[in-house]
Structure 1
Amino acid sequence: MQTPPSRAPNADQIDLRQVFGTLRRYAPWLLLTPALAAGGAYLLSRQQPPVYEASASVIAVDNDAQNSLINNTLVTAPPLPQGAVEQVMHSRSVLNSVVGRLQKTDLDPALVRGIARDLTEELADNAFTRFKVRARLDPQQRGVYELRARAETPQAAQRLAEAGVESLIAWDNNRAKQGVIRSRQSLQEQLADLTARIAATPPSSLERQSLIAARGQVLQNLSQMAVLETAASGTLVLVAEPVAPRAPVSPRPLRNAALAGLLALFLSAAGALLSDSLRRRVNGPEDLLPLGLPLLGQLPLLRRKNLGQGFVAASHSGPLYESVGFLRINVQSLLQEGKHRRLVVSSAYPGEGKSSVTAALAESLGASGLRVLVVDADLRRPTQLKVWSPDRLATHPLPGTDPALPPATTVSEMFLRPEAAHATRVSPHVDLLPAGTPARGGLPGILNQATFRALLDRWAQGYDYVLIDSPPMLSLPDTLAVAPSTDGVLLVVEGAKTRLADVERTLENARVANVRVLGIVVNKLARVGSAYYSYGYGSEQASPPANPNLRATRV
């Protein structure tokens, strides 16, 4: 019987719990990267020179005075089309006029030369930053033009805006006078021609009198052109003069730091999610379905307060008791046949909880009346004695042991002196063979030897189950060496951390070594999918009594 797997989420839905779990794993980087980006942006902004901005506004008006006398003596320019003012401000003639006006101000000549150089370069690059024009017009092209000028000092920004708006209005007025100027020039040519013809005709001739009368009319027209030229005006009128700004518009260190921090946070979070998606992790049972192996158990992630008395004590009640119960039933269903059922418990990498799962499964099997022998075969990082942590080490001889000899109570000692092998009683029906002192040298390779497998046959006599806590399969080859003499391997996978590629690589190594993988246990799941857990099975009242000889500690 297998624990029913959790229902796979819809592919179109986003698992927010998984997203937040991924961000929580990358929390140090997600906090450090924006902080560094914000600090760097702040320091860089503080080193940049300040830039000030002054603005002036002109209004585009309709000069129709609704008076025939005024209209007859007033020459106005036609309305400007959309975007014309901005093009004019970026024209060479107007920029030259601006520079000429700046040279007549009280600004530092070096600053004026710098502004003139920037305007020339902007004109060549067709990228303008010194002057910006913003228009708010109605369909008749009437409205307000706001001219913004940027410079290195408040006074320079004010003078640049003044020079810009004065040059713009002068260009607009000159636009209105162009027609009158051309008419005046034509009349002047007519006057010169008439004067020359009068000088060439006899004084008393009728032709001379006609030419004199025509010249008088031209002179009258010239005087009218002079009046019209003086009264000619454009459509732009100044409505708001520029003032010296108090604060610079750039740089803004705090704003830049905030934007850089937010951008770095967004990019780092996106990078973390992308990296996690590329390195797909086992987030639930549904991720393991393509592997084709049975899911033997799903163990929940326990809170720190639940582990106050140790993992074995926590397995006596609550959701862990129920989850381990499902695991025990599934293991018993797989290993129904055979007198001495042996099971290797391993994982891909350290820290996935294989030792705790071994102890919890042994305790559950022992609570059902079965005799269980736990062998801590992780000689380099032994953990079982710490998981069980008995108050006193009560030992008894194993089959084939001479009771008269000093007891050998660790796997390393028992391998050297098998006739003195003693098991440690850690629970009423559970015995433990501790690994002993962690060793890099010494006897780490005893699991590869045939002698150890023969000794395991002897020690397993009298027990219903033998659970071997072996090293991680991607770290050491010990598991692949000892597993062929057992019924198979129970692979422990940590939820939301173990990469699916690592699980696949572990299974491939087992297949090459002809090692049978019985099934997978997903450990440390944020939630367990079985709905039966909510009914309160395995409560404190219904749980089996804890071993009075155990001193539970947090692992």
Structure 2
Amino acid sequence: MQSPPAQPANADQIDLRQVFGTLRRYAPLLILTPVVVAGLTYWLAGREAPVYESSASIIAVDNNAQNSLINNTLVTAPPLPQGAVEQVLHSRNLVTDIGQRLEQSGLDPTLVAQIRSDLNRELTANTFSRLKVRARLDTQQRGVYEIRAQGENPQAAQQLAEAGVAALLAWDNARAKQSVTRSRQSLQAQLQNLTERIASIGDPLERQSLISARGQVLQNLSQMAVLETAATGTLIPVAEPVAPRAPVSPRPLRNAALAGLLSLFLVTGGVLLSDSLRRRVNGPEDLLPLGLPVLAQLPLVRRKQLAGGFLPASHSGPLYEGLGFLRINVQSTLGEGSHRRLVISSSYPGEGKSSVTAALAESLGASGQKVLVIDADLRRPTQLKVWGPDRLATHPLPGTDPTLPPAATLTEMFLRPGAAHATGVGPNVDLLPAGTPQRGDGGSGILNQPAFRTSLEGWAQGYDFVLIDTPPMLGLPDTLAVAPHTDGVILVVENGKTRLADVERSLQNARVAGVRVLGIVLNKVTRSNDAYYYYNTAYAAAARPEALASPHPDRS
């Protein structure tokens, strides 16, 4: 008994061939989904109302001049802190001012009402789309503010941008005049007070003094009026808004492209995630991390090709070629020697292990090897169905007393081990069928008996190969009971159905039991790009040995 092959060093690494293989299998989904999503997005975007955008630019400057005379006669507002312009533009006072300016702009009153409603709703939600501010400032808060306005038509976008800039400049100028206005109001209060006192005082000397003070206040008030008129803010318009030619949204083509790419990424991620969680074996590349050779890839045989039975269907075409590879690879794996004993099993029922066992036995027999097939699947025996109802005569197995009544099944052999007889089912191929299906632990009891192992040793002496068809490895322990007394196990895996995790579980069970797994047969492959499937099929069918033909071509 040999130890099982070790896992490859890079078994836990990502294999790009597996990734590309998975994407290739799901190629229709990966292509169709983005196309459908992009088309639907394009259609929906085309039905949306157009949105136009107009922009204007204002600059924030430092009004301090180098000339002291200018600085003394010029009133300026202090620099605006970071984010002040955006906060002011999205304030209740400016929204009201903008609405009033729009009412005087000549736009449709219904549209103006809609814009005002949107601006007020944005204030409440604190999310803004009608008016936006983008600032590009230096460390001293000097730079350019870009005011962007969106409207239902080009004129609405332009007028909203103009109204927003005008309201912002008016607020900035009012900010610069605040201190001067307060001073002017204070001087006006002083002037009124002096006038009232002059009118009520009769002393000429005191009256003359008050008149002189009122003259000084009048002079200061005149200067304040000049300063108030000259007061200026820090914001200066740079570029006026213009009516846009094309809408900024919707953009059906761009939206469709983005939606298609996003759906492609999502579907690709979902496919790879789903495949990694419950990945099925969909080709030999999926089996590479297991560190075991793929002895053969056998194609899926269509139902109409099975009208005459599985074995006749294996006498030509891709299945014939795949079985040839399987026979050669098995012989190469085992090397020189005789009396070879092989177990053929699978992870679950229905993967084709019994058919592969029979086809391999027939291929070995056609090459001149003497083969005994043992149907050890005592609960669901299948070999008699595969070989057909018509069989050749029985003959005793090595170590059998020919004078005893024949025990022609594995179940009868267990009761009468000295009378075991095999049934000839083809050239150089004998079969020991399972017999009556067993229930409960009856099957495992027979295969675990020392008598079976002893008989197996004796029967192998009369054959080059003994092929044992055992139950699925994940369903019953029978395979692990028989395999340690053989040269190893060949695991049949159904392409596109068997999960990779189940194959790994089967191999793990084999390793724990100390069973050697020779390799894997990938069965029911539907792909058509494996060259040896179709390489010179006509020549293979014409040149095959006549002994490979079914001895009963008319049987069902």
What is the TM-score when the length of structure 1 is the normalising length? 0.69
Please say which of residues 182-191 and 221-230 is displaced more in the overlay: 221-230
Deviation of the 1:383 alpha carbon: 10
SS in 1 for 2:9: coil
Aligned AA (2:425): A
User: Which residue of structure 2 lines up, in the alignment, with residue 423 of structure 1?
Assistant: 425
Residue 284, structure 1, aligned to residue 283, structure 2:
no
Measured at CA, do residues 91 and 373 of structure 1 come closer, stay the same or move farther in structure 2, by a change above 3 Å?
A: same
Q: How does 1:63-142 map to 2 (within 5 A)?
A: 63-142=63-142
Q: Deviations over 1:486-527 (max 9, x none)?
A: 9797432357863244347779999xxxx99874632349xx
CA distance in 2, matches of 1:491, 1:148: 69
Instruction: Provide TM-score, normalisation by structure 2.
Output: 0.69
| Alignment partners' CA distance in 1, 2:190 and 2:147 | 43
Query: Structure 1 vs Structure 2: percent identity of aligned residues?
Result: 55
Alignment match, 2:8: 7
- C-alpha distance 472-155 of structure 1, shift in aligned 2 (>3 A): farther
Q: Structure 2: how far apart are the matches of 1:222 and 1:67?
A: 24
Deviation at 1:87, TM superposition (A): 0.7
Aligned 8 A contact 1:327 1:361 in 2:
no
Change in Cα spacing, 1:208 to 1:252, as seen in structure 2 (3 Å) is same
| Deviates most, 108-117 or 26-35 | 26-35
Structure 1's 508 and 63: CA in aligned 2 closer, same or farther, altered over 3 A?
closer
Q: Hey, what's the Cα distance between the residues in 2 that align with 1:70 and 1:508?
A: 92
Partner of 2:331: 325
| AA in 1 matched with 2:329 | S
Please show how residues 37-436 of structure 1 align to structure 2 within 5 Å: 37-202=37-202, 205-279=204-278, 283-284=286-287, 287=290, 298-299=294-295, 309-314=317-322, 316=324, 323-329=329-335, 343-348=343-348, 350=350, 355-356=355-356, 359-360=359-360, 363-364=363-364, 367=367, 369-372=368-371, 397-399=393-395, 423-425=425-427, 429=428, 431=429
Aligned equivalent of 1:534:
none
Give the 3 Å change call, closer, same or farther, for CA 196–96 of structure 1 in structure 2: same
More divergent stretch after superposition (78-87 vs 460-469) = 460-469
Residues 364 and 370, structure 2, Cα contact 8 Å, conserved in 1? no
Contact 1:359 1:384 in 2 (8 A): no
Aligned to 1:291: none
For the structure 1 residues 239 and 300, does the alpha-carbon distance in structure 2 shift closer, same or farther, using more than 3 Å as the test?
farther
Report how many residues are paired.
475
Which runs of 5 or more residues in structure 1 are unaligned?
A: 289-294, 387-393, 401-410, 412-418, 436-443, 526-544
By how many angstroms is 1:164 displaced?
0.4
Find the residue that maps to 1:207 and give its secondary structure. Answer: helix
CA contact 1:194–1:215 (8 Å) conserved in 2: yes
Question: One-letter code of the match for 2:8?
Answer: R
- Are the equivalent residues in 2 in contact too, given 1:324–1:364 (CA < 8 A)? no
- The one-letter amino acid paired with 1:263 is L
Tell me the residue number matched to 1:539.
none
8 A Cα contact 2:342 2:490, kept in partner: no
Residues 1:227 and 1:27: Cα distance change in structure 2 (over 3 Å)? same
C-alpha separation in 1, matches of 2:430 and 2:114: 86
Rounded Cα–Cα distance in structure 1 between residues aligned with 2:506 and 2:233: 84
In structure 2, the partner of 1:292 is: none
> Kindly tell me: are residues 312 and 61 of structure 1, through their superposed partners in 2, closer, same or farther at Cα, counting changes over 3 Å?
same
Supply the distance in 2 between the matched residues of 1:28 and 1:63 (Cα, whole angstroms). 66
Q: Given the superposition, is the C-alpha separation of residues 201 and 122 from structure 1 closer, same or farther in structure 2, using an over 3 Å criterion?
A: same
Quote the Cα distance in structure 2 between the aligned partners of 1:381 and 1:49.
71
Q: Please tell me the root mean square deviation across aligned C-alpha atoms, in Å.
A: 4.9
Q: Deviations over 1:158-216 (max 9, x none)?
A: 1111100111111111111111101100100110111111111116x211111111111
What secondary structure is seen at the aligned counterpart in 2 of 1:59? strand
